[in-house]
Amino acid sequence: MSDANYKEIIWNGLWKNNAGIVALLGLCPLLAVSTTVVNGVGLGIATVLVMAFSNAIVSMVRQWVPGEIRIPVYILIIAVLVTIIDLAMNAYMQALYLVLGIFVPLIVVNCNVLGRAEAFASKNPVFPSMVDGFMVGLGLTLTLAVLGGMREILGKGTLLSGIDLAFGESAKAWVITVIPDYHGFLLAVLPPGAFIGLGLLIAGKNWLDQRKAASTDALKAPESVVAAA
Amino acid sequence: MSSDYFHHSIKLAAVLAAFALVGTSLLALTFDATKDNIAASEKKAKLALIAQILPLELYDNDIISDAASLPPQVELGTAEATVTYRALKEGKPSAVVLEAIAPDGYAGKIKLLIAIKANGDVSGVRVVSHKETPGLGDYIEIAKSQWIKGFDGTSLEKYPSKDWKVKKDGGQFDSVAGATITPRAVVKAVHKALGYFSVNREKIFSLPALEQAK
């Protein structure tokens, strides 16, 4: 696989086909967990891990899986993988489990994981599949971080609250109070706030894309711009 | 023709069964390899929790070796035997730590550790494990909010039964709007545990102690 293809995988995962704001897959955990930056990034990291590994394994076994039963086999692989990660984290990384543990089972029902297994890993070699899973997961993490940030500022007036759960008591000092003496805006914390926030993010991405498309057109046809001016 | 389909289906089923077999063996292996570690870290976490809800001046016995196995109790919501810790001060019962399960959380069971003083006052409550919505129902955790401390010092004498509800239902306990199912379940479980303790006080203190090795 050439470098250009990796570039495309990365660009698709992070921006062009972003799981959260373009593909709109896996919205259930996205909407439930994006109440704060820390929660959002927590789910994001867990998703990155699961997607990279599940894509790699699906790609490894792809020639032994008959087409008719590929979906049940992929679901089985993903469920086994998520359960193993859940158990292993609980047993050997207790501190991390206390923070991320609650998100891990949510990933079984994240259709991004199955979506990438079906759309990419079942047709591509192991390493590119792993990169694809990693990048799609990272794209979702970025969306979760931005959405979590919006909802946290509006809902609680802070940023990074709960970071002490990941980095210990001293990290409490990292919490940024954006709006002092804020009494909270419940709508932003509740599920409707997640839908509205996600809608704004999608609109924002489309606006950026359209602006970029417009400026590329303008470069191609400078005369028309002059004429219009 | 139909026998072709049949053979093909058998073959597919065999492939699926092979994947299922490998998958479940991996799970069984992992479960077996991790279960001691998981049990050990859960126990460690439990002991740390006990220290939070039971002030040191309340007891002078070795609380870990004075633990007893309590058979499943309907009032505590437990489905299997749980460990209960008895605190003694100068040889007299001063408090117990009970494990209780609130079965009706928003996303399943909420495991609680409840410390009750011998006079029936709540010394403290902590959540051991739960599956409530992150960022919404998880304020029952001490790490996220002080809510669970609202039980400190309450008792059946202080609040009549009708007050053992969240404020939204006309009771005494706070709740966060949009997430009332979670605190409702916890309040109910603590109330039931207090009722259980007031009836079974003597029985709990007379249970034989587990060996320290356990």
Q: Quick one: average pLDDT of B141-163?
A: 89
Which residue in chain A has the smallest CA separation from B38?
Answer: A91
pLDDT digits (tens, 9 = 90+) for A107-127: 887 888 888 888 889 999 999
pLDDT for the residue A228: 45
ipTM: 0.71
pLDDT range class, residue B203, cuts 50, 70, 90? confident
Using an 8 Å CB-CB cutoff, list residues of chain A that contact chain B. Answer: 32-33, 35-36, 39, 64-66, 68-69, 72-73, 76-77, 79-80, 83-84, 87-88, 90-92, 94, 102-103, 105, 162, 165, 186, 189-190
Q: What is the 3-state secondary structure (H, E, C) of chain B?
A: CHHHHHHHHHHHHHHHHHHHHHHHHHHHHHHHHHHHHHHHHHHHHHHHHHHHHCCHHHCCCCCCCCEEEECCCCCCCCCCCEEEEEEEECCEEEEEEEEEEEEEECCEEEEEEEEEECCCCEEEEEEEECCCCCCCCHHHCCCCCCHHHHHCCCCCCCCCHHHCCEHHHCCCECCECCECHHHHHHHHHHHHHHHHHHHHHHHHHHCCECCCCC
pTM greater than 0.90 (yes/no): no
B20 to chain A, any CB pair closer than 8 A? The answer is yes
